[in-house]
Structure 1
């Protein structure tokens, strides 16, 4: 059974982030990747594991610090 490999652009499209963000995650070691020639490929199972590690516990979130758009407000503290 062949493992499915995704390009950085494909991963970026799935996560709706820039390709540069994916390269940063790869370079930092947060998102494992394999090198194929001069290009990086991400195994589907590695992407799944990365995403599972990013799940947020809603009870741990401090929603009082978020504005209506879901961004943290600057409290100036």
Structure 2
């Protein structure tokens, strides 16, 4: 079973504002599942997000 994170948790992890995480989701840079008014992000989607931004 996948672990899910909130936008606030992701923002804390990357030291950005929650609005930045929402922008990543809106721009489809980070995949998320919308539950009601909130988003949840799977660990697999975080891994893909990081892999897509790796520089070397």
TM range (shorter): over 0.9
So what's the TM-score if we normalise by structure 1?
Answer: 0.69
Q: Runs of 4 or more off by more than 6 Å in structure 1?
A: none
Structure 1 spans left out of the alignment, 5+ residues: 58-77
Aligned residues: 56
So what's the TM-score if we normalise by structure 2?
Answer: 0.92
Bigger helix fraction: 2
Structure 2 spans left out of the alignment, 5+ residues: none
- Structure with greater Cα Rg: 1
Kindly indicate whether structure 1 or structure 2 has the higher relative contact order, using CA contacts under 8 Å at least 6 residues apart: 2
